[in-house]
Amino acid sequence: MAVSPGLSPTDIPASENAGIPARFAMQLKSAHPDGSKQVAARVVGHPAAHVVAAELREFSGFETNFALVAQRLITSFVEEKGAPTKKIAASLALKSSCQAILNRISVTYLLTGRAPRLDELRFVLHDTAPWVELFYDPRLTLENFELNPDQGPAELFALSICFEEVIAVFHRELGRRKVPPSVFYSTVAISIISPLLVLRRHGAKPAEVASLMRAYLASLGKKINGGIIWRQRQHEGLVEYAPRRKACCLKYALPHKPHLCSTCSRSTQTTFFDEFQGPVGGHMLKDGR
């Protein structure tokens, strides 16, 4: 079984980039409704009344205070989850943060075709799970979300900017000497394509899911795209692809998680190629994985 690096953005036609949300909608239709519901539950929405009463922070407030959240996450993974080292705890803290924020931004873009803007987002920081909650500014109205191709940046470009700013915060507090670059960007990439992994586990065609994943990641820049490597196989005269992390997040090192993730770079098996035969496949976790 061959392994290839992530595609260069020039290998993906621009017309496919423009149609990513439409292609995602087709995958939604092909998957079991439970998969669609699981993905939809991750979309960024407006906060409930009791959340509005809490301190809603703009991105600058989140950026300033994320160091405290990151340290609490690391401590939690060591003291409560049994992570054997702070290095493993930092990797899992990053994974949790990416699922809490990047995953939800990704879902929102894929479902609506419109990328959230940083100045529209509000953050609630916690010292207990789920640590960070993400909402739209409650003062925004439906008119604020209308797509107008003549105003503002293209949506994929706007999405890239949003990701870039959040990732920079994560890298400052959980990257550098805490999480190696290969693990860091593998975790970022997996959190972004996680909605497609959910649909694949609920019956969407693996080859079509992989094709959309490759186009999506290639549109988001070299570092994010490079977080995934692609295993290949020849099947019925065609080359099929399966995503793998470039480096392991070490989640299996936790006492209660003695197994490798389905996309783990350490696994010798590639189950992604196989279609699920039942109406629902895989796990249904609250964080969208």
100 assigned to some structural domain = yes
**28-47: average pLDDT:** 94
Between CA 192 and CA 250 the distance in angstroms is 19
DSSP for 75-91? HHHHHTS--SSHHHHHH
21 assigned to some structural domain = no
289 assigned to some structural domain = no
184 assigned to some structural domain = yes
Q: In the prediction, which pLDDT does 3 show?
A: 38
| Phi, psi of 65, deg, nearest 5 | -100, 0
Q: Is 90 exceeded by the pLDDT of residue 36?
A: yes
Q: Percent of the chain at pLDDT above 70?
A: 87
Q: Which helix (H) or strand (E) holds 154?
A: none
280 assigned to some structural domain = no
Q: With contact defined as beta carbons under 8 Å apart, do 190 and 280 qualify?
A: no
**95-121: average pLDDT:** 96
Between CA 26 and CA 24 the distance in angstroms is 5
93: containing domain: 32-272
**52-74: average pLDDT:** 92
Between CA 262 and CA 276 the distance in angstroms is 14
Q: How far is CA 7 from CA 102, 182, 214, 234, in A?
A: 21, 16, 7, 18
19 assigned to some structural domain = no
195 assigned to some structural domain = yes
**103-114: average pLDDT:** 96
63 assigned to some structural domain = yes
Q: Percent of the chain at pLDDT above 90?
A: 67
**61-88: average pLDDT:** 95
Q: Looking at the 3D structure of the chain, how many domains does it have?
A: 1
What's the whole-model pTM score? 0.87
